[in-house]
Structure 1
Amino acid sequence: MIGNDIVDLKKAKTDSNIFRPRYMEKVLSQNEQNLVLSSPKPEQDFWRLWTMKESAYKAFQRKFNSKPVFNPFAFHCELMDSENGLVHFGGDYVKTTTTFYRENYTYCSVSCSASSSSFIANSKEQLIQNLRMEFGESSQPQLLKLKNNLPFIKIASKTIPVSITHHGIYFAIQF
């Protein structure tokens, strides 16, 4: 299973006031809200929980081939340590890994397979270049979507399922 999400923290700071009345209530359970509000770094923990939920949503959407409808209350986050967590959905769960890069971004990926890879880039063009280097192909990778809106890349004769995310100036792909 693959799933990822990235938040450009500078853009999020200007576009989203997570402390405005009822904002957190719309996306976090009461336990998750308490975790954020009692944290020494509440904004960082809010975006960590958000990216965990989004990453898990993408992974479960692919697993169950479901329609793209995100309900944040269907996903319950559990923090294991400063990077690793679990996201519960129904009777299932996925492990996640979250990376914070300075004050620039928060990136989370579902970590179900040791063989999955990911790239983070500052532009879509840089992301495509990384894919070309990864697959050693001279042809241009194509980012496409299936009928159910699930992304994949096509490069030469290969078709590879991917999870793509972007926010602000950051783009990331997991495959």
Structure 2
Amino acid sequence: MIGNDLVDLAAAAKESNWRRKGYLQKIFTETEQSYIINSPKPEIVVWILWSMKEAAYKIWNRESGMRSFNPKAFECQICQICENTATGKVYFGSAEYLSETIINTAFLHTTCRNHDYIKPLFTSIACHGSDIEMRNHIIRDKAGIPIAAKQPEAFISKSHHGMFCSYLSTFKLK
């Protein structure tokens, strides 16, 4: 299975005050809070960890069919963080998901997959609203999960935030 999450960094800076009292404790484990506090770029680490949790949740949601998001239950481990990328693992119960994050000045984009799954074959990031061509290839199943209109057995993960929208798929959408 696959999952992805996208964070528009300008929108996140306007919409979320992650420095307010209790915010970090509500969403992040003590280890994750330590990553944030000890980082030279804490605001980037906050969104890396958040997007890791969201991307892993999308996999778990598809596998379980349940809608219940408890961010602290998804525990993140950052394996490596560089200027433009980060890798890590997300643990939820006995499940382990591998994550990769691309970081640039406008957004960060995290993809997750389980161990049994190959890397996604198709990724597209566009300005939200200009993704009409992608949206034409996607429908939603009875549970509201995005699937390919022409290949319903293929997995698709969609994310949008602020000005950006991303699609991750196990096949070529166009």
Q: Which TM-score applies when normalising by structure 1? A: 0.85
Which runs of no fewer than 5 residues in structure 1 stay unpaired?
132-139
1:48 matches 2:38: no
User: Counterpart in 1 of 2:119?
Assistant: 114
Matched ranges for 1:18-167 at <5 A: 18-64=18-64, 66-82=65-81, 83-102=86-105, 104-111=106-113, 112-125=117-130, 127-129=131-133, 131=134, 141-154=136-149, 157-159=150-152, 160-167=154-161
Read off the aligned partner of 2:90 and give its amino acid letter: V
- Give the conservation status (yes or no) of the 8 Å contact 2:120–2:168: no
Aligned pairs, number: 161
1:46/1:90 CA distance change after superposition, 3 Å? same
Q: Which runs of 4+ in 1 moved over 6 A?
A: none
SS in 1 for 2:2: coil
- Give the conservation status (yes or no) of the 8 Å contact 1:77–1:88: yes
Cα deviation, 1:47-92, whole Å, max 9, x if unaligned, reads: 000000000000111122x222211011000011122100001011
- RMSD of the TM alignment (CA)? 1.6
SS in 2 for 1:81: strand
Which runs of no fewer than 5 residues in structure 2 stay unpaired?
170-174
Partner Cα distance (2:74, 2:127) in 1? 29
1:115/1:37 CA distance change after superposition, 3 Å? closer
Computing the radius of gyration over CA atoms, which structure comes out larger, 1 or 2? 1
- Give the conservation status (yes or no) of the 8 Å contact 2:100–2:110: yes
Partner Cα distance (2:164, 2:61) in 1? 23
Read off the aligned partner of 2:98 and give its amino acid letter: K
